[in-house]
Amino acid sequence: MPAARESLLNAALAALRDLPWSGIRMVDVASAAGVSRQTLYNEFGSKDGLARALARREADAYLRGVERLMAQSAPVADRLVAVAEWTVGEARSRPVLRALLTGCWGERLPVPRPVRGAVLSRVPAQRRADARLPGPAELVAAVRDRSLAAPGHAGRSWDGDGEPGDLSRRCELAMRLALSFVVAPAGASVAPLVRAAVGDGLIATSPRAGDR
């Protein structure tokens, strides 16, 4: 991503700390980023395009974090607990990510409105941002898919007789428990609930420990 585009996105997010999206002016975002207003419009096309780009960057950064946590050298149950705890913490500190995960867009946030017509941006990153953003269910599915693709997951289930889809269901369960803490915050950590739900018995499906 070009440096100017990254600086503009950072400036827009910084402005959101003090102002609602409706009160943020494109000229002020450009000024804070140290670029011209024309550069801003060249990158995003419009304020709606900037909103879509902000949401896309938050979604991408979140999923990269999931991949990083799931690639750790630790039992799978521990990795799922880490993803759940991280999801709760990130959603609490990043309002745009929280809105993406819950579908609850407040009036202070840059609601990513759909593109009007079939006009494609000349900027590849913006064409991707202008595509349909993932909703809450799609983000849950993306986390599940990335969890299943993480190193060490191939050919595993939660016990020797586990069904092929068992790991997938437990990945999704961990994620939905995390989102319940996002929507209805609790004083305690989500970790004990996730660990109780996903268990600690993840072993290779073959050979079974008892058959060795």
Query: pLDDT digit string (tens) for 15-38?
Result: 999 999 999 999 999 999 999 999
DSSP H helical ranges for the chain: 3-16, 26-33, 37-44, 47-70, 76-93, 95-102, 124-130, 136-149, 166-183, 191-198
Strand partners, 203: 157
Rounded-to-integer distance, Cα 54 and Cα 61, Å: 11
Task: List pLDDT tens digits, range 166-205.
Answer: 788 889 999 999 999 999 988 889 999 999 988 755 433 3
Compute the average pLDDT of residues 96-105.
Answer: 96
Which tokens sit at 172? 């999704």
pLDDT at 12: 97
Strand partners, 204: 156
CA angle 175, 76, 153 (to 5 degrees): 100
Compute the average pLDDT of residues 143-158.
Answer: 69
Task: List pLDDT tens digits, range 37-80.
Answer: 999 999 999 999 999 999 999 999 999 999 999 998 888 889 99
pLDDT at 153: 58
Residue among 35, 52, 15, 14 at smallest CA distance from 130: 52
Compute the average pLDDT of residues 119-125.
Answer: 87
Banded model confidence at residue 165, pLDDT cuts 50, 70, 90: low
* Rounded percentage of the chain residues whose pLDDT exceeds 90: 66
Residue among 110, 101, 109, 107 at smallest CA distance from 134: 101
Cβ-Cβ contacts under 8 Å for 103 (sequence gap 6 or more)? 135, 136
Residue among 89, 40, 103 at smallest CA distance from 189: 89
Which tokens sit at 26? 């494109």
Amino acid identity, position 6: E
Rounded-to-integer distance, Cα 148 and Cα 146, Å: 5
